[in-house]
Each structure stands twice: as structure tokens, then as C-alpha cells.
Amino acid sequence: MQNSNQNTDVEQQPPPTNNNKRAIHKRRKALKNHLLAASSEFVGTVLFLWFAFAGTQVAAMTSDSDAITPQSLLYISLSFGMSLLVVAWAFYRISGGLFNPAVTLGLLVSGTMPWLRCAFLLPAQILGGIVAAALVSCMFPGPITAVQTRLSADTSITRGLFIEMFLTTLLVVTILMLAAEKHNATFLAPVGIGLALFVAELAGVYFTGGSLNPARSFGPDVAAASFPGYHYIYWIGPLMGALLAAGYYRFAKAWNYPEANPGQDATDPKEREREQEQEQS
């Protein structure tokens, strides 16, 4: 009798509707896309930081002294900037080419990235930083300490925190305005982003090591099993910079910033003139 009731219950269950099937398919597709983006961020972070760390090792091993020189500063800055430019250009169509937890959180706060995508990307980026540092530590003869971010002797923790904040603000503002905002030159965004990191590294490497990226600082410290007491500034500083950049981006969007300088995305000079005339009238 019990089996008969169970069979009756099974028979009475309605077949899945087309709406249910579409919802299931949509969720599976979204999960697949999130996993694909996370894999892209992991591979991209490994490649970006591997080449950047390798360039830093070359600068350290070819220097005659332990003190950083203008030549080594330029070499390290170019290594980071060019590495990000190339790798971001390769992966931006899959995941956006972020490779940085601070940038990811900046996009989340600015409203240009959903929280679920952010939850998938953050662990991939942090793990990518660890793997990149571990590979460099195994493959190159120099000590991994050469790529760790450390404050200079005359830079206090407070100064280092705010230096990291402003360096990251430049990077995240550039990403938001060139990549998150779609315009005629979006495909060239990796060039501007790579140059932004290059400029930031020029200004920051001497004082803080030029992190701008929690994964960039966390990975080498894990590989070296050595954390300074002020390691937290390489998380808090970049996150503060990302929040500052995201805040200004939301302000500019709320005030409809394209109206402040109309016609910038027009491809035809005559079209640009018409847009400017309409704005002035």
C-alpha cells in the first residue's frame, strides 16, 4: 500500500516547465562563466606576476649594490607595467584582465561588477600571486626576498599606507574610465592601464616596494614564509585607494560626466562639432 502511494506521488509531480528548464540552464551558464573568468584571473595573475617578479629578480641580481638605483627602479617599473599591459590585453575579453583584489573590489563598489563574480575572482587572484611567487622562487637563483614589498628606511608605516592608497587610486581610476566605461578606445584600455602601473611603480617602488595589489605582496611573503609587522598596509592601502577611485567614479556617473566635455566619443569631427553645439545651446 505504501509503495502504491509513493508511485502515485511520483506520477502526480508535474513535469518541469520550460521556464524551469530555462532557469536551470541560465544558472548553469552563469556558473560556467564565473568559473571560466576565475580560471582566466588565476592564469593571468600567475603570468603577470611571474614576468614582473622575474624582471625584479634580474634588476636585483645585476645591481652592484643592495641599494636601489635609478636604473633598477626603471627596470622594475617597466617589468610590472609592460607585463600588465600584455597579459591584460590577452585576457580582458574573458575576465577583464584585473589580476588584483583591490581592483576587483573597486569594480564591485563602483557597481560595474556583481558580487558573485567578485567572490569567484578574489580567491583566484590571491592563489595566482602565491603560485607566481613560488615558481619564481624555484626557478631563479636569487632569493625571493628581492621581490618582497618592504618600506624604505625613511618611510614610516603611516606614510607607506597613504602612498599605497594614492598609487592604487591612479590605477583603479584608469581602469574604471578606460575599461569599465565602454567607448571608442576601450580596446586600447590595456595600454593606458599598463602605463598607469608603470608611472605608479616609478613613484612607489623606492618607498613601499610599489605593491598596489594585495596578491602581489601576499604571494612573495607566503613563498618566503616571512611577513613584516606592517604587511597589513599592502591590503588596507590598496583597498582604500580602490574605494577612493570607485567613489569618484560613482560621483562622476551620477553627474553624467559625458555632458561636461561632449563629443569625446564621436568618430566623425562633424558629429563631434554637432554634439558640442547641442550642448552649448
pLDDT digits (tens, 9 = 90+) for 222-277: 999 999 999 999 999 999 999 999 999 999 999 999 888 887 776 656 555 665 56
Domains of the chain: 18-258 (1.20.1080.10)
- What is the structure's pLDDT at 14? 60
Cell of 188: 586600447
The answer to whether 260 touches 254, Cβ cutoff 8 Å, is: no
Q: Out of 23-27, 68-72, 142-146, 156-160, which region has the weakest mean confidence (pLDDT)?
A: 23-27
DSSP code string of 24-45: HHHHHHHHHHHHHHHHHHHHHH
Pull the grid cell for residue 235.
Answer: 591590503
Which residues make Cβ contacts (< 8 Å) with residue 29, sequence separation at least 6? none
Report the range of poorest mean pLDDT among 32-46, 102-116, 127-141, 256-270: 256-270
* Cell 569567484 -> residue: 120
Helix (H, G, I), strand (E, B) or coil at 151: coil
- The predicted-structure confidence for 144-160, as pLDDT tens digits, reads as follows 999 999 999 999 999 99
**pLDDT tens digit sequence for 121-136:** 999 999 999 999 999 9
Helix (H) or strand (E) run with residue 172 in it: helix 157-175
In the chain, the amino acid numbered 14 is: P
Task: Tell me the three state secondary structure of residue 140.
Answer: coil
